[in-house]
Every structure is written in structure tokens, then in C-alpha cells.
Structure 1
């Protein structure tokens, strides 16, 4: 089965998460993705003990890598040759860097009329459009960080969800342009801000604050369900495992009591009553959970139709049957290791092509892509010699593990 984007070529100039995540999805949908990297490679190649991070491995598999110095005349010319054969250009360079290296919509449209272009940047149109923003800045500017206070101080969520949401929105924009055979230049020139992405993600909370303001006169933050619903959250079982319960409604409460063999108290039948007696409810739930092993409790909860799951650490997530049957991930070899990399979840639209291919070494496909662009062996050798391009070094020990093992042995 071919993916819906089979036959399409994407040029990615991406670093960290947003752009590589977007092109990862496009690759899983069948597109050929050429990752254009500067000398030294993109940032995530050097984040873990001097080697690639989980981000790089997870979101760059199946891509080709060409290492170009776009600040040279030769590098810029090669980029133009690649644009001429591409359908989509997607990057998250800063606005000033994009102009300096001639990676703007106008530059690419002049080379390849009709191209679909997507620039994921810090801010969309507005007074801050030239400023740089990253995932935590988007969280801080859109209200997410203000509400997340695990230690009393506003802090980031942890995972870079805004980057990944922006990547998803970028894919939606690209697909919408591809679906329109008469797409205007305006539709094909997709400018997407992390800030604007954050606003859309936070729409529920921002509208909730307005609702409270208009009802009560106070701009109160809408509490998360976990803090506003007694019995909603993580509780520890007798065998020291954690179970997460979802109790939003009175029916949820009734089913939980039935499964946990708790006598229904008419004074706690409604959410309003349970909120009024929150400490009592929390004690009841925590006690009922602590009285049983996880396996025993989960069996009764499942039979009663209660929403729950185990709170798992990252090393155990892919060990559960739901993740393994059928497999929701692909085994990907890279360097001297093998990784279980989760796949794009819409399998009907995805392609198996390249799914098991490892992420590329820096410049691994430089020579191949130059040959395909019509460069002679002599010309390629000259480009390598002057540093306009680089090819991969065949280094299977990207994290210097051999050096560490030798040090331990000594």
C-alpha cells in the first residue's frame, strides 16, 4: 500500500522538533523527505552524550540527509537545484536566517512556480513577527505556564507539545494546499507561528476565563478536571503501582463505588455534594484503591466500565499488550542499537515504505542526491573539497560508548 503522498518530494530545513515532526508525518504518509542540514548537522544530533537524541531518532527515520553550506554560492546553487525538483519546502529557520540564506516563499516560488511552502516560526503576522520563540515561550505567552505550578512557580509542561501541535498544523496546511489544484500563492505560502498555535490550543481555557469573568466578575482560571473533581487523579494500589481514575460524572462515581464495593452514600451522590465533601471523597477513593492490588482492582473497574489506566514510566509504555498487538511501533536499527519507534496512528493513510529505515547519518545521501541532480563525479569532488557540501562519516559509535567502555575496563 502506498501512502497518500507517494511521489511527492519534501525539502526540510529543520531543527529540534516542529519542522522535523511535520516532515516525519509527511514521510509516514508516503512522501520522500530530503533533510537539508548545515555543517555539523541539526541540533538534535548532538544532545545526548554528544550523539543523537530520542527526538532525532523518533522523528527523522526514513529521511535522506544532504549536508549543505547554504552560506556559500555553491551551496545556494545546489539548494536551488533541489527546489526545482521538489513539491514542498518546509522549515523552521528564523525569519532573518531564511532571508539571508534565500529560503523564503518568494525565493522558492521563483525557482519552482506552484510549490507548497511552509515556514514554522515563533510568531505569525504582527508586531512580533520577527522575534524568535520556542516551545516554552509559547507556553508562557498563552497562559499554559501560568496555570502549571508543580512547585508554586510557573513552569513548562515538560514535553514540547506546542512544537508537535505546530507540526500537525503544518501538515494540515500542506495537505489543504495540495488538495486544491488551483491553490493561490497565498494558500501555498503557509506561515505558522508557535504563538498562534499556543493560542488555539489554549482556546478552551481562554474562553473559560472569559466565561467566569462574565458570570462572577472575576477572571478565574478554569481548574483542570483533576483539581475540580474529587476522585479524579492518580492513586496508589497495595502493590505500589499507580492507577489513574477518571470520574467526571455522577454515573462514573456510581460505577466506581460498585466496582470497589463501596456503599453508596446519598450524601455523596452528586458532584456538587462530593465537591462539598472533597476530603471525605478523597479518603474513600484512596482507601479503596490502597486496599487492592492493581490487577485485582483493574479487573473489577474494567468490568464495571470505569475509566482508568496504569500510570507507566517511559521504559514500560511499549510493554503492554495494547501497544504490542498489533504493534503500534516499528523496530528501527540505528548505529549499534535498535529502537521501537511509535508510528503515525492513522494507519489507513500511512505507507510502509521507509518505515523500518533508520534516520540518516549527517550527509549520508549528499553524493547520491548530487548525482541525481546531474552533478559529475569531478564536480562532486570539488564541492566536497571546498566545503560547500559534506558527506557522512561511517561512524557506528555516535555516543562514544566504546570510549566509555574502555574507561570502565581500565
Structure 2
């Protein structure tokens, strides 16, 4: 039987959107019991697609329990504090103002549970902007990523919210470190992860690179990215309209590519080194485009594989999970939700897929958790009647479509 390192640990999540839910998703995959505490309206991601949950909710909230609590009520806050007293970890990404207003700061929660690890993923860590708001795009804009990613000349955000996910991952790293060596002082069990600081760390290579160029060249020269720095490294279209991404970083890679595709440029001594190819970038790019454009995808793939060239097809999202590599045992988790079937990727490094809960309905586990905290049946009934907590609600109804695009049913 697979041993999960966080089995027996209880994690309370007060999360919305991505950063905190992504962190608790990882903790859940490592065996922790995650109780997702949601307001009566639910996590925002429960109502983003056709009136129901989005891919974010489905991918990062399976395996959790949902408890619906109105924290802005006295009875709701009391119930939450009793829950926090039973936990090992609380993690949230609420705004600083909401955290103070709801009375769920580190001081508030460690007053009822001094051993608690308290993690707040927020816009900014300590500094003059400590209480300012930030989101994933704000982190991209303020740390150089957005300036480097332009669409028609306009700085634009990346597609996925990578900074949210990095922040959640950094939170897990800090939490695991504290679990390994728990400090005696409760204040040392407080973690703040800023999206801005996450962005700085992720941009470290580029920030160091521009400093290097400034000192060597006297100007902030920079290259747009690895694929532009190395001619032949990037995406190229085949004759049947499919795209192949080539990994051509070194001179050895270039030799393998030209041999595999029988390119005459491979015999040109003026293109033998990367420095030389950079000086003739347009010629190299045109040659690779032409060579790839003469072959179908299957023809190109066979030649590249036989020649030992690193490559992959650029896949649309709907085809990603069809790849044989993705379908290997232990890589995907299957679950049903609202009568629909889903497969989501497992946490990398897991040896086996351990069966777990599907994504929870809002408030699905409220009464179950309250009873485990020694609330009586009368107490539970009173809390439900006053609206301090809420039970499972099926407030949305997806309208799946038939293959012809018409709604089912």
C-alpha cells in the first residue's frame, strides 16, 4: 500500500480561484485531509462555466471536503475557530482587509491553536505594498513578464495563471519544511507568500541576465527567449499543417537536425557554430522552415526520431491526454461529477493513483465535520437555521451539448 507522507494531517483551506486551492491540492495529493471552507456563495470557480464549476475547480479541488460557513456571523466564526483548533495547517488567499475583518489573522487563529501552521498567500509580502492587492496578471506586469509577452505590441498576460500556481507550490515547500522541524515559537509557524515576490523569483534568470548585459555591454540588451536566441529552436509547420517543436540548442543538435532532414546547410562551415548561425538567423530559420514544410508530420517525426533529434508535436489542449505517455498507469485520476466523466493529471512523482473523493458539492460535508467537532444535533440544526452554516446545495445545472452543438435533454 502506498504511504502518503501527510496522512493524518488536517488542512483547512479558505481559498478562492487558484493560489491557495492549488497549494491544498498538492497537500491533498500527499495524503492530507483538506477541508475547504467556503462562504454560502461558494468558491468563485464554482460558477465560471455555463453556470457551473470551471476546469480550475475540477482539477484542483477533487479529494477535498466542503464546509459552508458564513464567517461574518458570530456563530459561523465560532464554528470555524473550533475547526481551526483541530487543524495542523490553515492556508488562505483572502485579501488583507478581508482577513482582518473576518478575524482570521494569524493572531486570531493561533490564539485557539498555538501549534497551527498559518499560511497566507497574498499580493505582497512585507514591504511598503504589504496591504495592496495583486493578482496573477499584476505579478506578471510588475516583474517583467508582461513586458516580454506582447500581442500586436500590447503587453499581455500569459494564458495560464502560472504565478498563482508557483505561489501555491512555494507555500507547500515552506509548510513541509515547518512540518519537518516545527519551531517552538508560534510566530515562526507563520508563512506569507506574496504573488509579487513569487514573480520576482520566477523572473530571477531574466533579472540576472539583464544585469549581466548592463555590465558587459553598458546597455540593457535582452533576448526575447530561448527559441529566438537559438535559430532552429522553435515551432515549425509540416506540409499537413501540424506544428513540431524542435529542440536545437547546441551545435551537436544542429548537426543531428541537418542530417536527419538531409539539409545541405549541415555541410556549410559558415553555419557550424551557434554564434555563426545567430549571425545568419534569417537564413537558418528559412532553411528549417523549408525542410519541415516538405514533410508530413508522420514523415518528419520518423526522420527526427531516427536521427536522435529532440522534438514534440504542438498539441491542442483537447488532444493532450490522448498521448500514450499521458495514458500510462498512475498519471491520471478519473472521477465523475454531476454525471460527467473527467480525467485530471496526478501530482508528479506519485507511484500510484490513490482513490479519493471527487470535487465536493458546496457544503457537502458541513454537518459531517460539525458532528466530528462534537457539535450536537441541536447545535447543527440551529446553525443551519440561522444561516451560520449551510448544507449541500445543488444550485447550478450544467447544460452539456450534443456533438451537433445543441443542448442535451
The answer on 1:384 being equivalent to 2:384 is yes
2:216 corresponds in structure 1 to 215
Could you tell me whether the CA contact under 8 Å between 1:210 and 1:219 is conserved in 2?
A: yes
Alpha-carbon distance change, 54 to 358 in structure 1, aligned in 2, over 3 angstroms: same
Gaps of 5+ in 2: none
Q: Which moved more, 1:89-98 or 1:262-271?
A: 262-271
Aligned-CA RMSD value:
1.7
1:5 corresponds in structure 2 to 6
TM-score w.r.t. structure 2 length? Answer: 0.95
1:359-391 CA distances to partner (integer Å, 9 max, x unpaired)? 000000001111111112222111111110111
1:139 corresponds in structure 2 to 140
Cα deviation, residue 408, structure 1: 5.7
Aligned length: 403
Gaps of 5+ in 1: none
1:112-156 CA distances to partner (integer Å, 9 max, x unpaired)? 111111000000000100011000000000000011113111111
1:187-235 CA distances to partner (integer Å, 9 max, x unpaired)? 3100110000000000000011111111111112343111121111111
Could you tell me whether the CA contact under 8 Å between 1:177 and 1:183 is conserved in 2?
A: no
Q: In structure 2, the residue corresponding to 1:324 is in which secondary structure?
A: coil
Cα deviation, residue 99, structure 1: 1.2
| Aligned mates of 1:103, 1:145 — CA distance in 2 | 34
Could you tell me whether the CA contact under 8 Å between 2:182 and 2:189 is conserved in 1?
A: no
* 1:4-403 pair list within 5 angstroms: 4-263=5-264, 264=266, 265-348=268-351, 352-354=354-356, 357-394=357-394, 398-401=397-400
1:75-133 CA distances to partner (integer Å, 9 max, x unpaired)? 00001110111000000011111111121111111111111110000000001000110
Could you tell me whether the CA contact under 8 Å between 2:223 and 2:229 is conserved in 1?
A: no
Alpha-carbon distance change, 61 to 408 in structure 1, aligned in 2, over 3 angstroms: closer
Could you tell me whether the CA contact under 8 Å between 1:208 and 1:222 is conserved in 2?
A: no
| Aligned mates of 2:312, 2:83 — CA distance in 1 | 48
Alpha-carbon distance change, 236 to 401 in structure 1, aligned in 2, over 3 angstroms: closer
Could you tell me whether the CA contact under 8 Å between 1:18 and 1:120 is conserved in 2?
A: yes
Could you tell me whether the CA contact under 8 Å between 1:105 and 1:189 is conserved in 2?
A: yes
| Aligned mates of 2:215, 2:347 — CA distance in 1 | 41
TM-score w.r.t. structure 1 length? Answer: 0.95
